[in-house]
Chains A and B, each alone.
Chain A
């Protein structure tokens, strides 16, 4: 049954740069090397460069910012309906929401400085980033967030096929969005009927490893 669906487009965010379909979209220049370890600065600069104009972005945690921008790069060239779209989201990573979990834990660790915040706590779930993307792009669709030790193309491919074949989704946005302190890695790809690249495990792995 391989070959029935195709990868239409893909986005990688890694090493201070953003790539779409293998072409460099944005690179945090050498002059900012002093800050290259700093994910919040990088993602804010990328947001501005890509003219994203979505003020809610600044309320998001780091994982959501990473996933949101990778999805936005792909979905804004899709001519989506302003009313609703049936694009399922199948995301995965290794660190779940641990980056934000540590912040919430730090806020409750000592009884003298006990100050849990709902604005932080809500992001202590990995699937919140899919909620953010669904709100922006009007996706009333299937959502699943999986945790794996490393990128797992086979399970993403099988699950996307199942949703497309059963008619639960028209398109599927799949991939890996991992953020753990200052290390980050995003790879999202859009699967649908049309496209140049076959929706096969080997191809998915190849595109993930291009950077």
Chain B
């Protein structure tokens, strides 16, 4: 933090090298290429060992993960999520060429980690369910000097992790922070969302009038957050403003007025010193539940953002829980680099009470600034604004 003319200004922080590991590809470029072609990772499953009824989700084959992991480690020693996080993070560490010294931090964003270790007939010790153990496993694999910081803040975890990294960098604790994020589609998660009657058996339709609920998905997504402007990839962005606000309303339902989301975007805009009309694109949460999508439409209207092009990426990946905010930020960075607004898959007719501008078809547009938002159980909402780096 430096003082200029008496005003406190933060040093710039960037979102740099990145990776997405999903059934749409094992690197960000391949995944974004598949999105540009309109491909979705969602599929229908009828597997009673996961859920007593058919469901729609995006999952990665354990066998494919294992054979990929076999190139860098012994798959019998690592659980599926650990293999995914390590595979994803390794690509980012390698691309960054940053030595893992005392000034390099590690954040792991997850809601449930290795929760599948609680299932009967598992070969791993139950201690693997502790998220700090997951942190240790990742830390030791790569030889990070610092203890992993595990962030578990429901569905905003992935995007909140970017704020957390920025804040630790601004306090001078770290120069660089690697974030890796992920959650699995497990019996635990499926049964829980199904008990809320929140799951859709068909591919989800965020903001559409015929939307019928969530699809769950699994990915690992990783990024480097850095204060250094050198060796940034072409899709890198600067973090312009960020905030998290609670609804103070309900633990499992969103506020009807979108209070926390409204406040978090306001606060992020204020920090970025931007007005609502200066946002070129919103990568929203859009889970395709009736209440969530309606809440977002109300909040974006209160913010005067009803004409800003917006999409939800849940139609491509499903809801990937602790990874979703980070995954969707990475995809947004690539969209901005390509100067294309990508379609909100599953959407055809507006099904919320307030006007919002959903992207129906891939459309070229000069993109300089985008907003990523997420909302989750516990009433939490996070907004982060990213700007293109113009050399």
Contacts and interface: CB of A to CB of B under 8 A. Distances in A.
Interface of A: 84, 89, 94-96, 98, 101-102, 104-105, 107-109, 111, 114, 116-118, 121-122, 124-128, 130-132, 134-135, 137-149, 152, 155, 158-159, 161-163, 165-166, 168
Residue among B10, B115, B267, B379 with the most chain A CB within 10 A? B379
Contacts of A96: 113, 130-131, 152
Interface string B158-179: 0010001001101101000000
B52 A144 contact: no
B64 interface: no
A148 B152 contact: no
Interface stretch (B32-40, B68-76, B240-248, B353-361): B240-248
B379 A135 contact: yes
Contacts of B188: 101, 104-105, 108, 124
A124 B378 contact: no
Contacts of A168: 243, 267
A148 B150 CA distance: 7
28 contacts: A95-B130, A96-B113, A101-B118, A109-B119, A111-B48, A111-B52, A114-B191, A116-B194, A117-B195, A118-B195, A118-B252, A122-B251, A125-B111, A126-B152, A130-B380, A131-B250, A140-B245, A140-B259, A140-B263, A141-B246, A144-B164, A145-B153, A146-B149, A147-B131, A152-B147, A159-B164, A165-B1, A166-B8
Contact of A105 (B118, B151, B173, B380): B118
Contacts of B170: 162, 166
The SS class assigned to the B binding surface is mixed
Contacts of A84: 248
A137 B243 CA distance: 20
Contacts of A101: 112, 115, 118, 129, 188
Interface in B104-140: 111-113, 115, 118-120, 129-132, 135-136
A-B pairs, top 8 by smallest CB distance, nearest first, are A131-B378, A121-B192, A147-B150, A162-B167, A134-B246, A147-B131, A149-B132, A116-B195
Interface string B280-297: 000000000000000000
B249 interface: yes
B103 interface: no
Contacts of B332: none
A116 B191 contact: yes
A107 B194 CA distance: 13
B191 A127 contact: no
Interface string B377-389: 1111000000000
A116 B191 CA distance: 6
A135 B52 CA distance: 35
